[in-house]
Homo-oligomer: A and B are copies of this chain.
Amino acid sequence: MEETTDMMNSNLKLNNRDRAVLMKTPFLTSLSGNSLVRMMSAMSVVSLTNRKSIFREGENADAFFCVLSGYVRLYQLNRDGREADIRICSPGDTFAECLLYGGTKYRYHAQTAEATTLARFDMQAVRDLAEQERDIAKAVITSLSKHLITTMDCVANDRLHTAPQRVADYILKRCPVDGGPASIRLPFQKNLLAGMLGLAPEALSRAFSTLRRTGVTVRGRVIQVVDVQALREI
Chain A interface (Cβ within 8 Å of chain B)?
A: 76-79, 82, 84-87, 98-103, 107-108, 130-131, 134, 137-138, 140-142, 144-149, 151-156, 158-161, 198, 234
CA distance A141 to B140 in the complex (A): 7
**Contact yes or no, B101 A142, CB < 8 A:** yes
CA distance A107 to B144 in the complex (A): 16
**Contact yes or no, A159 B98, CB < 8 A:** no
- Indicate whether A102 sits within 8 Å of B146 (C-beta atoms), given known contacts A78-B160, A158-B158: yes
**Contact yes or no, A156 B108, CB < 8 A:** yes
User: Which chain B residues border A152 with CB–CB below 8 Å?
Assistant: 86-87, 98, 107-108, 151
Oligomer copy total: 2
> Shortest beta-carbon distance, A141 to chain B, in Å?
5
User: Which chain B residues border A131 with CB–CB below 8 Å?
Assistant: 134, 138
User: Which chain B residues border A147 with CB–CB below 8 Å?
Assistant: 148
19 other A-B residue contacts (CB within 8 Å) besides A134-B134, A159-B198: A82-B160, A84-B156, A84-B160, A86-B159, A87-B155, A100-B141, A101-B138, A102-B142, A102-B145, A102-B149, A107-B149, A108-B152, A130-B138, A130-B141, A141-B141, A144-B144, A144-B148, A154-B155, A158-B159
**Which residue of B is nearest A75, CB measured?**
B156
> Shortest beta-carbon distance, A98 to chain B, in Å?
4
User: Which chain B residues border A82 with CB–CB below 8 Å?
Assistant: 160
